[in-house]
Amino acid sequence: MMLLRTLAHPASPSSPVAMAQRVTLRKRTPYNTTSNRRRVVKTPGGQLRYHHINKLPTAPKCGDCGVALSGVPALRPRQYATISKRQKTVTRAYGGSRCASCVRERIVRAFLVEEAKIVKRVIKSQTVGRK
């Protein structure tokens, strides 16, 4: 009879209640900011510890269209200092700054502008020749 009462009422004084283990901060900042995110992890010794989580990196974006650049790794800003220049850029005009489609668009636009200038020059010379 006593057993049934302790199962029905787990918070009764006769039944032991397991208390939650306290976890202390490992950094100085106590505030819940984006740079101070943490995760509770159980160690092999059975203790609970805070693991501080680094911010997620974002991929570099194209300056024209805003698409993530392929071939350039997504890292936190300080980690770009540790990798070589070959890994930070793409071997192409505007590599590491603009995506391939935007570079192609710029080249075609420059070519068409030059063609338009030549056509304008030819038309002007023909009109001068007729007079």
| Nearest-angstrom CA–CA distance, 31 and 12 | 36
Residue 10's pLDDT is 54
Which of these, 92, 94, 95, 55, lies nearest to 75 by C-alpha position? 55
* pTM beyond cutoff 0.85: no
| Nearest-angstrom CA–CA distance, 3 and 97 | 71
Average pLDDT of the chain is: 88
Residue 20's pLDDT is 85
Instruction: List the beta bridge partners of residue 32.
Output: none
Whether pLDDT at 57 is above 80:
yes
Question: 97 vs 43, 72, 100, 101, 109, CA distance in Å?
Answer: 44, 10, 10, 12, 18
Question: 40 vs 46, 63, 80, CA distance in Å?
Answer: 12, 39, 29
